[in-house]
Amino acid sequence: MKKRFLLFVLSVVTISSMFSQTVNDIPLEDIKVEFVQIVGVSKSLSNKVSISIDFGQQNKYFSFKDVAKIKDKKGKKMKFYSMIDALNFMSENGYEFVDSSVLRLDKENVFQFLLRRKG
């Protein structure tokens, strides 16, 4: 009976981790850091923003595309329509807003939102 229960619990944990949102294929609930940063890059004369999440992970190359691949519960790349959309997503996943800044690099705006784990 104990073995069946243990097997059931392990199955539930495995299945739930397979269907959770991820950053670079790491489930959000497994990212055990106090601070994260949402980084958004927009080009001049465009309303589109490329968004990534930086939680201190090591990346292979210094490339914006490699900063963080955020996937939904089905494993598809998530699209955020604005920095506030990303902020709301992170709030739903246990983070709260701390501070923000905007940098102008060449013809791009770089938005940075610093977040802290709630509680």
66-101: burial string, b at 16+ Cβ within 10 Å, e else: ebbebbeeeeeebebeebeebbebbeebebeeeeee
CB contact at 8 A, 90 and 115: yes
Q: Is residue 63 part of a domain?
A: yes
Is 54 inside a domain boundary? yes
Alpha helices in the chain (DSSP H): 2-18, 64-67, 83-92
In a domain, 93, yes or no: yes
Q: What is the pLDDT of residues 23-61, one digit of tens each?
A: 767 787 787 889 999 999 987 777 788 888 888 876 554
Which structural domain range is residue 101 located in?
21-117
Number of domains in the chain: 1
Q: Is 83 part of any domain?
A: yes
User: The whole model's pTM is what?
Assistant: 0.69
**pLDDT over 50 (residue 116):** yes
In a domain? residue 3:
no
CA 80 – CA 55 distance, rounded (Å): 18
Instruction: Between 99 and 79, name the one with better pLDDT.
Output: 99
Q: Kindly state whether residue 1 falls inside one of the protein's structural domains.
A: no
In a domain, 109, yes or no: yes
Q: Is 7 helix (H, G, I), strand (E, B) or coil?
A: helix
